[in-house]
Structure 1
Amino acid sequence: MSVASEALKLTGERQHLILRRALAERIIKIKDLAAELGVHEMTIRRDLDALAEQGLLERVHGGARVKDKTSEELSHHLRAAKNTEAKARIARAALDLIQDGDVVALDASTTALALAAILHARNVTAIVTGLDAANILAASGVSFLMVGGNFHAPARSFVGAFFMDTMRRLHPDKVFFSAKAYSVETGFTDPHLPEVGAKQTLISSGGTRIALLDASKLGRRALATIATLSEVDVLVTDAAPSDDVRAAIEAADIKLVIAQEEP
């Protein structure tokens, strides 16, 4: 990695730390951030200016703050920026499971969004449930149908009765979904109840149901169960799971795909 590339990486990591602090504290001070991160105050000022230009923060005297109306967007931005390399590997492995002519459905997870970004490599029709995937597919020329409903801002997705009624009438060849966590005891789980119902309906509509989870989510649990292993056909992850998770996958006769790093 070049010196310039390393500098850009460090800048990005620092700005993500700043965003996480802003989300937690609402108002952040330049002096406090500089001391915590071990950099000059001018460096923090440049970071805050850059984040303000992106609409993620609002500059105030001596620091910055998060507006109430943008806090959910900021939370989604941080989630999308987490484990990006793992998500990219998982997306490439998932693409190998898709053939030309398939109708594929994507949930509104950031992992499925990584798949949407490369879906133009296949001649398919997509069904999407979130705004970000729709924007990506529209820009890349992929034919798609967006299923609407009540807008769920934390995931930038559509949920609710209208969504579920429409989704039940559709029958994609393959469904790709993610979850907040997976454990042998609770299955695939998510903390957002509106998302749980929407994902359950999406999963039940598909011919082949494919879970996309980075390894950091395995062995953990969230509030509500989306699906059990018996409701899934394939699990794509980026590292070998623990022995108990692997045993459960084998017992359920689920295909396990471990995404490899590019040579």
Structure 2
Amino acid sequence: MLNAERHNLIMDLLKLRGSVKLRDIMDASDSSESTVRRDLADLEEQGLLKRVHGGAILSQERATELSMGEKSVINVRGKKEIARIAALTVADGDCIYLDAGSTTFEIIHFLAGRDITVVTNGLMHVEELVSLDLKAYILGGKMKAKTKAVIGGIALENIMNYRFDKAFIGANGINIVDGYTTPDMEEALLKRRVMNLSDETFIVADRTKLHHSHFAKMFDLEDAVIIIDQMEAEDKARFMKKTTVMEALE
């Protein structure tokens, strides 16, 4: 297989999965480990991926963010399993916070028929909650057109009217050093305040967010439980030293 063909294969695997193991690339391309490592180094130099232990992940700009529509078609099965596990932590009578985002949106379908109160900053979320006859409140504030999330000073003031048994928050990056991050500072401030107002906080994010770090820090790893679809054994051992990790696809 030619260099260009291997590079295209690697990028196709990454676009499909978000991350890829060295062994998977070797098997798919019928190439040696040294050849694949050179390919990954070349692609990293071009800014197309980031090498991590045992493989690679897609490169992401620290200050950019996908739209809600773009996010909703990435790793759908993993997000649904994360949502199912997240919903199992909710008890009848709970008041919960659902952050705007594609993974948190999936949680709603597992809450149908429950005796709970939900506060959200997601426009799509509140519409879905109401359609399922769930008691729902939406924050006031500035609407982000791209992600349909309410943020800003008014939202920060509005959130102080609530206290939560549990909060389910999305993250664009989960990093062992930087903690939980997102591209938008205003959104990071709201997520941090929600965490401080909650008895328990859960970060719901699929494996494509692992090892990424974005512009604005939300809070530290130990401030939340991670609910993720899958995590490599070595990664899980490292993260478990700082927080609890719940895998949906063990």
TM-score (norm 1): 0.67
Q: Distance in 2 between matches of 1:229 and 1:242?
A: 18
Which AA in structure 2 matches 1:75? S
Q: Does 1:237 align with 2:199?
A: no
**2:162 alignment partner, SS class:** coil
Q: Which of structure 1's runs of 4+ aligned residues deviate more than 4 A?
A: none
> 1:258: which partner in 2?
247
Q: What's the counterpart of residue 171 of structure 1?
A: 163
Where does structure 2 lack aligned partners over 5 or more consecutive residues? 1-15, 17-65
Distance in 2, matches of 1:83 and 1:186, equals 24
Structure 1 counterpart SS, 2:167: strand
Structural mapping, 1:98-247, within 5 Å: 98-232=90-224, 234-241=225-232, 243=234, 245-247=235-237
Distance 1:259 1:121 in 2: 23
Per-residue Cα deviation, 1:173-200 (whole angstroms, up to 9, x for no partner): 0000011111111111111222111211
* Displacement after TM superposition at 1:121 (Å): 4.3
Q: How has the CA–CA distance of structure 1 residues 248 and 169 changed in structure 2, closer, same or farther, with 3 Å as cutoff?
A: farther
Contact kept, 8 Å, 1:131 with 1:156, in 2: the verdict is yes
Deviations 1:111-137 (A, max 9, x none): 101112322142211011110000100
The reply on whether 1:90 has 2:76 as its aligned counterpart is no
Equivalent-residue separation in structure 2 for 1:242 and 1:213 (angstroms): 17
Structure of greater Rg? 1
How many residue pairs match? The answer is 186
User: Any conservation in 1 of the 2:78–2:249 contact (CA below 8 Å)?
Assistant: no
Asked if the contact 1:181/1:220 (under 8 Å) is kept, the reply is: yes
SS at match of 2:146: helix
Question: Partner of 1:226: helix, strand, or coil?
Answer: strand
Amino acid at match of 2:137: L
Q: CA 1:139/1:184 → structure 2, altered by over 3 Å: closer, same or farther?
A: same
TM-score by length of 2: 0.70
1:249 is aligned with what amino acid?
F
In 2, the alpha carbon distance for the partners of 1:250 and 1:104 equals 25
Q: How does 1:70-85 map to 2 (within 5 A)?
A: 75-85=67-77
Provide the rounded CA distance (Å) in 2 between the counterparts of 1:154 and 1:185. Answer: 28
Greater RCO (CA < 8 Å, at least 6 residues apart): 2
* Structure 1 residues not aligned, in runs of 5+: 1-16, 18-73
Q: Which amino acid aligns with 2:229?
A: D
Shift of 1:89: 0.5
Supply the distance in 1 between the matched residues of 2:122 and 2:205 (Cα, whole angstroms): 18
Deviations 1:90-149 (A, max 9, x none): 000101111111111010011101112322142211011110000100100001111111
The answer to whether the 8 Å contact 1:218/1:241 transfers is: no
Provide the secondary structure at the position in 2 that maps to 1:77. helix
Q: Is the 8 A contact 2:68 2:101 kept in 1?
A: no
Determine helix, strand or coil for the equivalent of 1:251. Answer: coil
What one-letter code is carried by the residue in structure 2 that aligns with 1:165? E
The separation in 1 between residues aligned to 2:127 and 2:97, in whole angstroms, is 15
Partner of 1:44: none
